[in-house]
Amino acid sequence: MVKPSKPTGRAAKTSWTPSPARPPKAAARPDGRGADCAPWPAAAFVTAAHRLVQLPPDEGTEVAVAGRSNAGKSSALNAITGKAALARVSKTPGRTQQLVVFELEPGRRLVDLPGYGYAAVPTTLREHWGTELRRYFETRAALRGLVIAMDIRHPLRDGDRAMIALAAARGLPIHVLLTKADKLGRGAAGTQLAAVRKGLTDLVGGLATVQLFSSPKRTGLDEARRRIVDWLADDSGADVGGGLRD
């Protein structure tokens, strides 16, 4: 007769159970990117231009990204592209004072516009960018839309409205990221979202859309990426007058 083994104090091994089957992957988009709008692992810095003639050739498609100084624009760019150090994040407001171009894919670009609303920027530099940005929005054929980062606690300031007006004058679509949404509770964030949506409708009608966004919490990443992907996929061209002459 076989004697029963003494208990060892260890839990008995359980039989292996297979993991549940993974859900099928979402269908790919017509532009070749996944339906979940993955980040851009190959995104890279191209150039920083002080004048429009220093930009890459006016070919392909690009989306401009604007924002008041300290609105979290650089952090938003890094989160959306999935490259933690793509755009330079600084604790000093107003550091972006050039047109900084990033290539996401061949012929597809983001253009980080100079920050605004920072008093320490010299008047002559503000005037320079006032002129250059007007020309950029009026004449850049590759431009497909404008993304604006606004601190959810301080949206639709004068500088934001000025940028919206530049895009709207050309009939370009505008998408607002209400950044730092994690700083407000869910109810307050929803109230602010509704208020900004109404404000945008009053300003430009159906040209503008808005969403909640938080870089550290990764809130709204897919929605923002999807908007940019759709715009960059628009190869229909733009009705602008002439090229840039200097």
- Whole-angstrom Cα distance, residue 136 to residue 56? 13
pLDDT tens-digit readout, 34-88: 445 788 989 999 999 999 999 999 999 999 999 998 999 999 999 999 998 898 7
In a domain, 218, yes or no: yes
In a domain, 184, yes or no: yes
115: nearest Cα among 78, 55, 66: 66
Among 105-119, 139-153, 164-178, the minimum mean pLDDT is found in: 105-119
In a domain, 96, yes or no: yes
User: Domain range holding 126?
Assistant: 48-232
| pLDDT class of 148 with cuts at 50, 70, 90 | very high
Per-residue pLDDT, 121: 75
Mean pLDDT to the nearest integer, 151-175: 97
Per-residue pLDDT, 167: 98
In a domain, 237, yes or no: no
Is pLDDT larger for residue 49 or for residue 9?
49
Q: Is residue 222's pLDDT more than 70?
A: yes
How far, in Å, are 52, 125, 241, 244 from residue 137 at the CA level? 11, 18, 11, 12
Beta carbons of 213 and 76 less than 8 angstroms apart: yes
User: What helix, strand, coil percent values describe the chain, rounded to 5?
Assistant: 30, 20, 50
In a domain, 179, yes or no: yes
In a domain, 239, yes or no: no
Domain count, the chain: 1
Is the entire prediction scored with pTM above 0.85?
no
The CATH number that applies at residue 213 is: 3.40.50.300
